[in-house]
Chains A and B, each alone.
Chain A
Amino acid sequence: MPDPTSPSPTSRFMDFWRVFRRNRMGLAGLVMLVVIVFVAVFADAIAPYDVQSSIDVTTSDIYNPPSAQHWLGTDDAGKDVFSNFIFGARVSLTVGFFAAFISIFIGGVIGIVAGFFGGRIENIFMRFTDIMLVIPDLPLMIVIMALTKKPSLINVIFVIGLLGWTTTARIVRSQTLAVKSRKFVLRARAIGAGKGHIIRRHILPLVMPILVVNAVLVVSLAILNESTLSFLGLGDPTALSWGQMLNYAFGRGAMSTGAWWALVTPGFGIVWVVLGLTLFGHGLEQVLNPRLETHHLMRPLPIVKNDATGQPLLHSTGERVALLKPILLRADSLSISYINDGTRPARAVENVSFTLREGELLGLVGESGCGKTTLMLGLLRLLPAAGQIVNGEVWFGDKELTALTEEEMEDVRWKGISIIFQGAMNALNPVRTVGDQIAEAIVKHDATMKGDALTARVIELLDLVGIAADHKEHYPHQYSGGMRQRAMIAMALACNPKVVIADEPTTALDVMIQAQVLELLDSLRKKLGLSIIFVTHDLGVVAEMCDSVLVMYGGVTAEYSDVDTIYNNPRHPYTQELLKAFPDLSHPEKRLTSIPGYPPKLDELPAGCRFAPRCPLVFERCRVEEPKVISVGERHMASCHLLEEDE
């Protein structure tokens, strides 16, 4: 990892500005702040009246409504409200910024020291912070201000500043903790750099962004607190802040005389500044700490079949299962893209076709990032919000899934095709019991199931995967990793689905448990006559269990055939390379070789064959022309120019 302090501050600022400029909320906030700071600085030039002198004021000047002389009327002392408002900006902003400076300084020091030094210091500091955090701060400020004899602006600044540091301390501490264990800090400590040096050069630059976002919030809270204290009569009576203006107006008859201008104007100032700060802070947060605001319930992109790169559809492969068995699921030239604003669509899956017959186990093989999971989610139309089916058809029985409505699709899910996700830790809801989550699926697709019948079915399913009945009342975190995956399998079988998709069901499990889960899947398949699509990168499992194999590379079909053909007569260079990377027990002396490089990024695909950059047999044509999927033997398909040349 490069040292984060290396680029110059100006260039880092320009980078930041380029992104921030496009954040409309943040920019609006910044403009609001610039305007009000400008008003405060040049108050003497802008204000039409001198608010200090009261030479010409008479009783007839009190609470005059807005007029040509007094744009916003006059107040209880006959002064011009607009001029007071402009000078009030000075007082309110001064208190806000200085008080916030004190808070941020204290909170920053406590947070960094606690986070960096840890141990007893951290314990004491954070316990103290916790206590200060629960004590209601405004009442405490009121008590202290009431007990100081003469409220002055300095007192207000210190009271607000000294009580407003708690959230800063917490945020800075957790960020310091996170930064402290980064590699470059550990390295700096290992070479014996001083603590002060590490904090200044390595910790502070990374804590700064969060501190700045937090500072914006602290300033706005300080301004709100100042106005409240002043309104309650605890501010400096000689410094006419916006809060003080409201105190005088509210306390001296503005309500009863109907002088709305004296009440609305100062409050508008407070809202202007605080809203400006809030918008600015929100924008900063989004730029400095961006998060993808997408989720699984967002409206899916409509299916549009405009990707006219369709190729001749050939789906006549052989399987170990009898060819006479009927076809359950068939994908025809399915193409899926990820659409993101401002970038080119990522063609994650292109023109993939396969068939799944009753009782068949199809292995889907390829490195990570080759579109396997996207293809599976696409079958069930569970793609993330940016995913879009752009071509092809999926036939399940007599239904074409890409043409169904969302409601019709809900009936197909789980009852027709269910799916076991990788990493069951997160695939089960942590706050509901496992039994409850299984029962939910059953009830959804068969409303007649309830009471004892439902319980019996849940127990039966758990028994099927070897989980004792009383575990149904337990929560997922009480299960071991292997148990969770077995529970997930039980859940997948809950509605007697015709097809089960197992998406790398054994990753994240240790080897022994992997074997158990696989054995279980295989035995269930035989017992229940399931058709399974098994996504994996473990070729050993494929050889042992599968009937047919689909090898994917970079989103396209590399090779598709029955398992014997794939292992004994692989035709695509990628399949050949994959097999070389896999130990062969009959020739243990053979060297294992891994394929150098990585699969292509889906938004930067090479012009020709997607495997060309890594292919040992690459030649000129591969770099310019994409190979078609062609039949290279009986029930054997592959996409490689070499095979075309053969013919």
Chain B
Amino acid sequence: MKRWRYLLGKIGWAFFTILFVLVLNFFLFRVLPGDPARAGVHDPRLKKEAVEAIRVRYGLDKPVINCFESLNPIKVGSCGVNPLETQFFIYIGNLLKGELGISYHSNRPVADVLLERLWNTVILIGAGQILAVIVGVIFGVFAAWKARTNVDYGALIISLIAWSLPTFWLGIILLFWGSNNGLPIGGMQTPGMSSQPFFVRFGDVLSHMLLPTLTYTIVYMGEYMLIMRSSLLDVLSEDYILTAKAKGLNTFQILKDHALKNAMLPLVTVIAINLGFTMAGAVQIESVFSWPGLGGAIYEAVNRRDFPVLQGAFLLIAVGVIVANLLADLTYSYLDPRVQTE
């Protein structure tokens, strides 16, 4: 019963957060001055019919939202308008239908553009995140176990340096080195590969993935190492570790059976909270390596002033991070028996 209440609470909160993001996303793109479509409405060189066509095409002929006329560039409608015909609810309605608008650049539906890129980002982040966690945890365990020795100080310095590297710069340096050593200079596969057998294409993608994943791993392992170290230090000074030692267990058994699970619990939450930062890393890495993912889409959209794609990509990323956070909370409650009865 309590467990259900906990789950429902978490899910409800995630929904509320998503709603907040929807509203924020909607108004950001209407309040700030940069959007060319909106700018076009005020362009004195355009004919009246052309302005009207733009307004109809982007739905600007509708009021933004009831009783919010000051946000409506051409003052149509009033509080009496059917709420479902305001821009805000049309936007929400379209989202529910999976429509994110039309790209200014390619004239294709934004949802299609983004969906084909979503998996590329998931693959890259997935591989990078898994490697970063593995390397970070291993470093962290050794640093904590050998606390206050040279092993510890060495791991600490390496982690702090890794943390201080700007992601895009590390990417540039690795790309510079890689392109001089026969590695691909960017993208996800070599052009003209589609006729090759599967394993050749697979190897080709892997070779393209190598440097972006390495960049990702180096930048994020430092933080995981620091968290693992401090979490394991806490656990290893607990009384139950002394009990385990008194039972005659050796160091390896104690680490494996008593310390690691307990110490990794905080890491689950951190990984989830990090997903936001993770996307920051993805934008940078995909920009440098021309990786065709969501982060790369943001970079291209910014350069092309392709605002529907930018808006859609931001929404997708934000919702993805919120859902991932929710999943992490639920995983945590499953892993830690204490949460269920709180």
Q: Does A228 lie within 8 Å of B147, measured CB to CB?
A: no
What's the Cα separation between A274 and B162 when bound, in Å? Answer: 11
Task: Indicate with 1 or 0, residue by residue over B225-246, a CB within 8 angstroms of chain A CB atoms.
Answer: 0000000010011111111111
Q: Is A414 an interface residue (CB 8 A)?
A: yes
> Is there contact, CB below 8 Å, between B172 and A428?
no
> Is A294's CB under 8 angstroms from B147's CB?
yes
Q: Report which residue of B32, B145, B247 has the largest number of chain A beta carbons within 10 angstroms of its beta carbon.
A: B247
Q: Return chain A residues, CB-CB under 8 Å to B249.
A: 410, 440, 444
Closest to B16 in A: A131
A550 → chain B, closest Cβ, in Å?
21
A481 adjacent to chain B (CB < 8 Å):
no
Q: Given contacts A147-B28, A147-B33, A475-B338, are A444 and B276 in contact (CB under 8 A)?
A: no
* Contact of B241 with A296 in the complex, beta carbons under 8 Å: yes
Instruction: Tell me the B71-103 residues at the A interface (CB within 8 Å).
Output: none
Q: Does A318 sit within 8 A of B, measured CB to CB? A: no
Contact of A297 among B17, B145, B284, B288 (CB under 8 A): B145
Query: Is B28 touching A144 in the complex (CB atoms < 8 A)?
Result: yes
Give min CB distance, B284 to chain A, whole Å.
6
* Contact indicator A294/B33 (Cβ below 8 Å): no
Interface centre among B241, B242, B243, B288 (most CB of A within 10 A): B243
Q: A477 near B341 (CB under 8 angstroms)?
A: yes
| CB 8 Å contact bits of B130-147 with A (1 = contact, 0 = none) | 000000000000001101
The answer on a CB contact under 8 Å between B172 and A250 is yes
Taking a contact as CB atoms closer than 8 A, the residue among B33, B157, B246 that contacts A414 in the complex is: B246
A382-B242 in contact (CB<8A): yes
How far apart are the CA atoms of A233 and B283 in the complex, in Å? 13
B160, B279, B280, B301: the one contacting A282 at CB < 8 Å is B160
CB distance from B9 to the nearest CB of A (A): 13
Which listed residue (A135, A274, A292) contacts B318, Cβ 8 A?
A135
Q: Is the CB of B233 within 8 A of A139?
A: no
- Chain A residue at minimal CB-CB distance from B243: A427
Is A295's CB within 8 Å of the partner chain B?
yes
CB of A153 within 8 A of chain B? no
Q: CB-nearest residue of chain A relative to B180?
A: A258
Chain A contacts with B in 310-324, Cβ cutoff 8 A: none
A112 neighbours in B (Cβ, 8 Å): none
Q: Could you mark each residue 420-438 of chain A with 1 if its beta carbon is under 8 Å from any beta carbon of chain B, else 0?
A: 0101001111111000000
Interface segment among A64-72, A185-193, A262-270, A393-401: the answer is A262-270
Distance, CA A371 to CA B261, complexed state (A): 33
Residues in A neighbouring B303, C-beta threshold 8 A = 233
- Determine the interface band of chain B, counting residues with CB < 8 A from chain A: 35 or more
Contact present for A418 and B233 (CB under 8 Å):
no
Cα of A380 to Cα of B248 in the assembled complex, Å: 10
- The residue in A147, A148, A250, A382 that gathers the most chain B C-beta atoms within 10 A of its C-beta is A147
Find out whether the CB atom of B283 lies under 8 angstroms from the CB atom of A275.
no
Q: State whether A263 and B176 are in contact (beta carbons under 8 Å apart), knowing that A232-B287, A271-B166 are contacts in the complex.
A: yes
* A264→B170 CA distance, assembly (Å): 10
The 8 Å CB contact of A440, one of B32, B247, B276, B321, is B247
A414 touching B28 by the CB < 8 A rule? Answer: no
> Once the chains bind, are A139 and B318 in contact (CB under 8 Å)?
yes
B336 close to A (CB within 8 Å): yes
Inter-chain contact B160/A279, CB cutoff 8 Å:
yes
Binds A, one of B51-59, B111-119, B250-258: B250-258
The reply to whether A146 and B310 form a contact with Cβ atoms under 8 Å apart is yes
Which single member of A228, A295, A445, A491 contacts B280 (CB below 8 Å)?
A228
Specify which of B144, B157, B322 is in contact with A134 (CB 8 Å cutoff): B322
Q: Write the nearest CB–CB distance from B277 to chain A, whole angstroms.
A: 7
In the complex, the answer to whether A429 meets B240 with C-beta atoms within 8 Å is yes
A135 touches B165 (CB 8 A): no
User: What is the bound-complex CA distance between A255 and B180, given in angstroms?
Assistant: 10
In whole angstroms, how far apart are the Cα atoms of A383 and B317 in the complex? 51
Does B211 touch A at the CB level, under 8 Å?
Answer: no
Q: Which residues on the A side are within 8 Å of B26 (C-beta)?
A: none
Q: Are the CB atoms of A444 and B279 closer together than 8 Å? A: no
Q: Does B169 contact A (CB under 8 A)?
A: yes
Tell me how far the C-beta of A277 lies from the nearest C-beta in chain B, rounded to whole angstroms.
8
* A247 (CB) vs chain B CBs: closest residue: B168
Could you tell me if A427 and B239 are in contact, using CB atoms closer than 8 angstroms?
A: yes
> A270 contacts B246, CB within 8 Å?
no
Whether A431 touches B262, Cβ cut-off 8 Å, given contacts A275-B160, A295-B147, is yes
Asked if A149 CB lies within 8 Å of chain B CBs, one says: yes
CB pair A142 B283 closer than 8 Å:
yes
Q: Chain A nearest CB: distance from B215 CB in Å? A: 13
Interface residues of A (CB under 8 A from B): 25, 130-131, 133-140, 142-144, 146-149, 220, 224, 227-228, 231-234, 243, 246, 250, 255, 260, 263-264, 266-267, 270-271, 274-275, 278-279, 282, 291-298, 380, 382, 407, 410-415, 418-419, 421, 423, 426-432, 440-441, 444-445, 475, 477-478, 491
Instruction: Knowing that A134-B321, A139-B314, A427-B239 touch, tell me 5 more A-B residue pairs with CB under 8 angstroms.
Output: A270-B166, A382-B246, A430-B338, A431-B261, A444-B248
Contact sample, A vs B, 5 pairs, CB 8 Å cutoff: A131-B20, A134-B273, A270-B169, A410-B250, A440-B247
